[in-house]
Amino acid sequence: MNENFYHARSLFISLALVLIGFGVLMVHSASITSWPTEFEKVYLSRHVVFLCVALLLGGIASLIPAKIWWKAAPWIFAITLVLLCLILLPSVGYKVNGARRWLRFAGLSLQPAELAKIAVPLLLVRLLIQNRKSLSHWYRGTLPIIWPLLIVAPLVAWQPDLGTALFLLGGGAIALFLGGWPIRNFVIAGSVIVPVMGFLIAMRPYQLNRITGYLATWIDLNQAPYQLKQSLLTLGSGGLSGVGIGKGSQKLSFLPEANTDFVFAVVGEELGLPGTLGIIAIWVSLLLIGYRILRPLDKSGFPFLIGMVLLSQLVIQAAINVAVVTAMVPPKGIPHPLLSYGGSNLVVTLVSFGIILAMSRDVEPESNANLDPALKSTQVMPIPDSKFFK
Tell me how far apart the alpha carbons of residues 50 and 109 are, in angstroms, rounded to a whole number: 11
Is the pLDDT reported for residue 289 higher than 80?
yes
Tell me how far apart the alpha carbons of residues 288 and 57 are, in angstroms, rounded to a whole number: 24
Instruction: Please report the pLDDT score of residue 101 as a whole number.
Output: 81
pTM score, two decimals?
0.89
Q: What is the mean pLDDT of the chain?
A: 85
Instruction: Please report the pLDDT score of residue 225 as a whole number.
Output: 80
Is the pLDDT reported for residue 217 higher than 90?
no
pLDDT tens for residues 324-363?
Answer: 999 888 887 789 999 998 889 999 999 999 999 999 987 6
Instruction: Please report the pLDDT score of residue 387 as a whole number.
Output: 41
- Report how far Cα 93 is from the mean position of its chain's Cα atoms: 23
355 within 8 A of 118, measured Cβ to Cβ: yes
Instruction: Please report the pLDDT score of residue 32 as a whole number.
Output: 73
Lowest mean pLDDT among 220-224, 330-334, 379-383: 379-383
Is the pLDDT reported for residue 138 higher than 90?
no
User: Who wins on pLDDT, 286 or 205?
Assistant: 286
* Residue type for position 154: P
Is the pLDDT reported for residue 367 higher than 80?
no
Instruction: Please report the pLDDT score of residue 229 as a whole number.
Output: 87
Q: Which band of pLDDT confidence, cut at 50, 70 and 90, is reported for residue 163?
A: confident
Instruction: Please report the pLDDT score of residue 134 as a whole number.
Output: 87
Lowest mean pLDDT among 35-44, 83-92, 235-244: 35-44
pLDDT tens for residues 76-111?
Answer: 999 999 999 999 888 787 777 667 888 887 667 788
Cβ atoms within 10 Å, residue 276: 21
Instruction: Please report the pLDDT score of residue 15 as a whole number.
Output: 96
Instruction: Please report the pLDDT score of residue 255 as a whole number.
Output: 85
199 burial level (CB within 10 Å; 0-12, 13-18, 19+): exposed
382 burial level (CB within 10 Å; 0-12, 13-18, 19+): exposed
Instruction: Please report the pLDDT score of residue 92 as a whole number.
Output: 80
Instruction: Please report the pLDDT score of residue 381 as a whole number.
Output: 37
Is the pLDDT reported for residue 390 higher than 60?
no
Is the pLDDT reported for residue 388 higher than 50?
no
Domain boundaries, the chain: 3-110+223-389
User: Who wins on pLDDT, 90 or 237?
Assistant: 237
Walk across the sheet containing 93-96 and list its strands: 93-96, 99-105, 108-110
Residue 346 is given by DSSP the state H
Instruction: Please report the pLDDT score of residue 45 as a whole number.
Output: 84
Q: Which band of pLDDT confidence, cut at 50, 70 and 90, is reported for residue 385?
A: very low
Distant-in-sequence, close-in-space partners of 33: CB < 8 Å, separation ≥ 6? 40, 251, 252, 253
pLDDT tens for residues 179-188?
Answer: 999 999 899 8
Tell me how far apart the alpha carbons of residues 118 and 298 are, in angstroms, rounded to a whole number: 21
Is the pLDDT reported for residue 73 higher than 90?
yes
377 within 8 A of 362, measured Cβ to Cβ: yes
Tell me how far apart the alpha carbons of residues 213 and 217 are, in angstroms, rounded to a whole number: 6
131 burial level (CB within 10 Å; 0-12, 13-18, 19+): middle
Q: Which residues are paired to 161 by β-bridges? A: none
Lowest mean pLDDT among 41-50, 72-81, 142-151: 41-50
Name the residue among 154, 151, 156 with its Cα closest to residue 115. 156
Residue 95 DSSP SS3: strand
2 burial level (CB within 10 Å; 0-12, 13-18, 19+): middle
Instruction: Please report the pLDDT score of residue 98 as a whole number.
Output: 67
Name the residue among 3, 68, 37 with its Cα closest to residue 354. 68
User: Who wins on pLDDT, 44 or 293?
Assistant: 293
Q: Which residues are paired to 103 by β-bridges? A: 93, 110
Read off the pLDDT of each residue in 289-299 and give the average, rounded to a whole number: 93
Instruction: Please report the pLDDT score of residue 188 as a whole number.
Output: 87
User: Who wins on pLDDT, 33 or 6?
Assistant: 6
Read off the pLDDT of each residue in 147-153 and give the average, rounded to a whole number: 94
Computed on alpha carbons and rounded to an integer, the radius of gyration of the chain in Å comes to 21
Instruction: Please report the pLDDT score of residue 376 as a whole number.
Output: 54
